[in-house]
Amino acid sequence: MSSQDSQRSTGPVFDFFFLRPVPTAIWIFLLLVFGILGYRSMVKESLPDLEIPEFSVLTTWEGATPFMVEKEVTQELERELRSMPGLKRLYSSSMYSRSIVAVTFEADQDLDQCMRRIQQQVTLAQGELPSGAERPEIQVSSVNDIPIVSIALSGDVDISVLEELSREVKQRLDRVAGIRRVLVRGSRTEVVQVRLNPQQLASLALPPTLIREQIRSHGIDAPWGTFAHPDLEFTLRLDGAYNEVEDLRQLVVARLDNGHVVRLEDVARVEFGHLRETTRAALSREGSDFEPVVALEVTKAPGHDTIALVEQARRVLEEHQDSPFWPQGVEWRLVGSQAEAITTELDRGFTNGWQSMLAVFAILFVLLTWREAVVAAISVPLTLLGSMATLWALGYTFNLLTIVGMILALGLLVDDFILIMEGMHEG
């Protein structure tokens, strides 16, 4: 084969970059700049944001038994939700004071349209629900429901101190842009408990629902219009809020036919207490015994950087710890941080990158010449930077799946560069 035929067989792309070094240098520079810019600008997260057409309809009906919840709440919701087009699966769970209806659509259904359908059907069913049931809440299932980090508050203090501190930290974290939700685990909210006396209620022929409605109707604090006079004008307000436990004890719940006034303290015991424990959190430090803690689970909104959000949460805790409002003897610790896993995978990717570059250089330096070795070794990071620039331009995120894919591609790149440089050397 003549040299002219050999040059013609290389192709126009090879000729352009091989015969025009200035545009080639500019192209390499652009790959370098946009690759670094793409890496620094891309959202880094554990898993990619996936639109999953799965929803949960949550309804609370305080004091209702599972049978009542199933019959009067869950079945009414199911009756309306079953008629939606594109529905794949519907299942429910009824428990004490709570109904959960899980709805799954076909994978090709649009997420926004599915949400509108559920809202319409829930609105239709709401008129059939009991008056004591709260408005149903619709939640969208997402891979972002997995906490990006958990914050453990511990110390040699009373649990009420940790609970109050957790509420303060939660308020600060809720103001951080990109944090979707902060859930408190291991905390028991302090409440006023009303323990009814069944024998006393039966002797007075008073139903428990009457007591509940009286407490609810009298515990209202709301504006009640304006009183206007030529010389005076002031706002009227219905002040029915219970400021003290004694106010609740003295609440009139019924008037008997003989004129006797029945107060709440006559038929119930009113006292401070805690809600029933539903979650418990404990922490073990380096294999030591578990100690009770109050934990805050932080989840992020779609499209936000996990590493940046975890760092912001750390700064919020450090700033609050330096303030005079931080209790003495209380410590905090980040647990289960996804940022650490992402950083570890990134470090692994960079390690594999420079190891591949070194392997290509060593093999070609021994088998061919140092020129081919340098060209092939430089091509490895340039290819990875070009991939990052492309991912950034297309709007993708830098997640664990992307990192694993690039690591696997490195093995193919090493083989390809060795074969290409060997072919060029022989040609």
In order along its 427 residues, the chain shows pLDDT tens digits of: 444 444 445 567 666 766 777 888 888 888 889 989 988 888 888 777 766 788 999 998 877 888 888 888 999 999 899 889 888 888 888 888 889 999 988 888 888 888 899 999 999 888 888 888 888 998 887 766 788 899 999 888 887 788 889 889 999 999 998 888 898 887 766 677 788 888 888 888 888 888 777 777 765 544 444 444 455 444 444 445 566 777 778 888 888 877 788 888 888 888 766 666 556 677 777 666 777 788 899 988 877 888 989 999 999 999 999 888 888 888 899 988 888 888 888 888 778 778 877 877 787 777 777 777 787 778 778 888 888 898 888 888 888 788 888 878 777 777 777 777 777 666 5
CATH class of 191-274: alpha beta
Range(s) of the chain covered by CATH 1.20.1640.10: 3-41+341-426
- What is the full DSSP assignment across 299-363? EE-TTS-HHHHHHHHHHHHHHHHHSTTSPTTEEEEEES-HHHHHHHHHHHHHHHHHHHHHHHHHH
Given the structure tokens 């070794």, which residue do they identify? 377
Count of Cβ atoms closer than 10 Å to residue 165 Cβ? 21
Provide φ and ψ at 236, rounded to 5°: -95, 140
Range(s) of the chain covered by CATH 3.30.2090.10: 191-274
Task: Sort strands 268-274 and 281-283 into parallel, antiparallel or unpaired.
Answer: unpaired
Question: Candidates 1.10.287.3240, 1.20.58.1180, 1.10.10.60, 1.20.1640.10; correct CATH number of 3-41+341-426?
Answer: 1.20.1640.10
Range(s) of the chain covered by CATH 3.30.70.1320: 145-189+277-336
Q: 145-189+277-336 has which fold?
A: Alpha-Beta Plaits (3.30.70)
Range(s) of the chain covered by CATH 3.30.70.1430: 54-141
Which pair of structure tokens corresponds to residue 187? 């905390």
Give the separation between CA 140 and CA 142, rounded to whole angstroms: 6
Give the separation between CA 28 and CA 36, rounded to whole angstroms: 12
CATH class of 54-141: alpha beta
